[in-house]
Amino acid sequence: MAAPVHVVEMSSAEREQAFAICRALADEFRAAGPRHDEENSFPYELAARIRELRLPGLNIPKRHGGWGADIATTARSVELLAYGDPAIALAFNMHWGVIGFFRGMWSEEHQDRFFPGVARDGHLFDGAYSETRAGVIGLADTLAVPVEGGFRVSGRKSWGTLSLVADFHTMNATITEPDGSLPTDHAERAAREVLLVCPASADGVRIEKTWDALGMRATGTETVVFEDVFVPAADLVSTRFRPDLFANLEWQTLTFASIYLGLARRTYDETLAILRDKHLGAVPEAADVKVSDQQLVQIGVGEMCVLIEAAANTIEVTAARLNENRDLPDDPARRLGWLEIPKVVATENAIRVVDIGMRLIGGGSYRRGHPLEKLYRDARSGPFHPLTTDQLMQHLGSAELG
The answer to whether residue 66 scores a pLDDT higher than 90 is: yes
Which pLDDT score is estimated for 280?
77
Which pLDDT score is estimated for 148?
98
Average pLDDT over residues 238-264: 97
Which pLDDT score is estimated for 57?
98
Which pLDDT score is estimated for 63?
97
Mean pLDDT lowest among 93-102, 164-173, 285-294, 355-364: 285-294
Q: What's the pLDDT tens digit per position in 191-204?
A: 999 999 999 999 99
Average pLDDT over residues 220-247: 97
Q: What's the pLDDT tens digit per position in 116-171?
A: 999 999 999 999 999 999 889 999 999 999 999 999 999 999 999 999 999 999 99
**Three state DSSP letters for the chain:** CCCCCCCCCCCHHHHHHHHHHHHHHHHHHHHHHHHHHHHCCCCHHHHHHHHHCCHHHCCCCHHHCCCCCCHHHHHHHHHHHHHHCHHHHHHHHHHHHHHHHHHHHCCHHHHHHHHHHHHHHCCCECCECCCCCCHHHCCCCCEEEEECCEEEEEEEEEEECCCCCCCEEEEEEEECCCCCCCCCCHHHHHHCEEEEEEECCCCCEEEECCCCCCCCHHHCCEEEEEEEEEEEHHHEEECCHHHHHHHCCHHHHHHHHHHHHHHHHHHHHHHHHHHHHCEEEEECCEEEEEHHHCHHHHHHHHHHHHHHHHHHHHHHHHHHHHHHCCCCCCCHHHHHHHHHHHHHHHHHHHHHHHHHHHHHHCHHHHCCCCHHHHHHHHHCCHHHCCCCHHHHHHHHHHHHHC
Which pLDDT score is estimated for 2?
64
Average pLDDT over residues 304-331: 96
Q: What's the pLDDT tens digit per position in 327-380?
A: 999 999 999 999 999 999 999 999 999 999 999 999 999 999 999 999 999 999
The answer to whether residue 1 scores a pLDDT higher than 60 is: no
Which pLDDT score is estimated for 380?
98
Average of per-residue pLDDT values in the chain: 96
pTM of the shown model: 0.96
